[in-house]
Amino acid sequence: MEGIEVITQDYVNVHITKSDAEDAAPIERRFKKGIAVAEFKTKLELVTGGSATTMKLKLYDSKNNFVCDIDNDNALLGSYPIDDGMRIHVIDKFTLVTDFAGTDSAERFRLSEEEYEKKGDTLRSFLQRNRLGKYNEEEMNKLKEQQQKELEEEARLAAAVVVGARCEVRVPQQPPRRAAVRYNGPLEGAKGLWIGMEYDEPRGKNDGSVNGKRYFTCPPKYGGFVKPVYVTVGDFPVEEFDLDDEI
């Protein structure tokens, strides 16, 4: 896959699941598509507590259909058909072999902190010995630095979106939609900054409220919230739709 370039958006939001916690809720994370798979696996160590050298990755679409294995460490993450809302399942050899998931968490609650620290076969001790996950200070610092850069870039994009402006919204795998900006800021319970839209036609998901909290008011199905990266502000006139001609 040498020479392949990322031609879609720079970042992708995916759901992460683990082979030792099949019933656990997926963890949502945002990654840069321009990183190599080997570096991506290293970042997954911080999310899963696994090892980049042993983990295997399987990609599923938003409907939970298997897409492909992510198995070329030298390829770019974006060279795979990965998009927002997809799921990456991490099969971790060391957790499967040592059965940390089945014993460590439950035993942790039965032992005092001091007793737990004395044990040499815990997940924590494994991570500490191998400098994985949160015990790898260098990788943690890199992750914090990357997250800070992502937040700064998102803030820069959001600053250019003025409430009341006309815009066009282009979300991957969805048709373009024209709208008016009604909100710019954080959402309760969600990470980062969001742009609230009142669409020209009923192709949204709400009426300007999310989880019972109102951010603006519009007719039902005309409202929606998207990340700043998907919003282009400009002279986009309101499109006229002749509903009588639609089936």
The verdict on pTM exceeding 0.85 is no
pLDDT for 5? 36
Residues 69, 55 contacting (CB under 8 angstroms): no
Q: List, for residues 142-196, the tens digit of each pLDDT value.
A: 777 888 888 889 999 999 999 999 999 998 878 999 999 999 999 988 888 999 9
Q: List, for residues 21-65, the tens digit of each pLDDT value.
A: 766 678 888 898 888 898 898 888 877 877 888 889 999 988 888
pLDDT-derived band at 7, boundaries 50, 70, 90? very low
pLDDT for 215? 96
What are the counts of helices (DSSP H) followed by strands (DSSP E) for the chain?
6, 12
User: How far are the Cα atoms of 44, 201, 244 from residue 241, in angstroms, in the given order?
Assistant: 46, 8, 9
User: How far are the Cα atoms of 33, 36, 131 from residue 139, in angstroms, in the given order?
Assistant: 18, 15, 9
Reduced 3-state DSSP string for 76-101: EHHHCCCCCCCEEEEECHHHHHHCHH
- Strands (E) located in the chain: 11-18, 27-32, 56-60, 66-70, 87-91, 166-169, 177-186, 193-199, 209-210, 213-214, 223-226, 231-233
130-140 average pLDDT score: 62
Question: How many CA atoms, within 13 angstroms, populate the side-chain half-sphere of residue 76?
Answer: 17
Could you give all domains of the chain from N- to C-terminal order, each with its CATH number?
11-151 (3.10.20.90), 166-245 (2.30.30.190)
DSSP summary character for residue 132? -
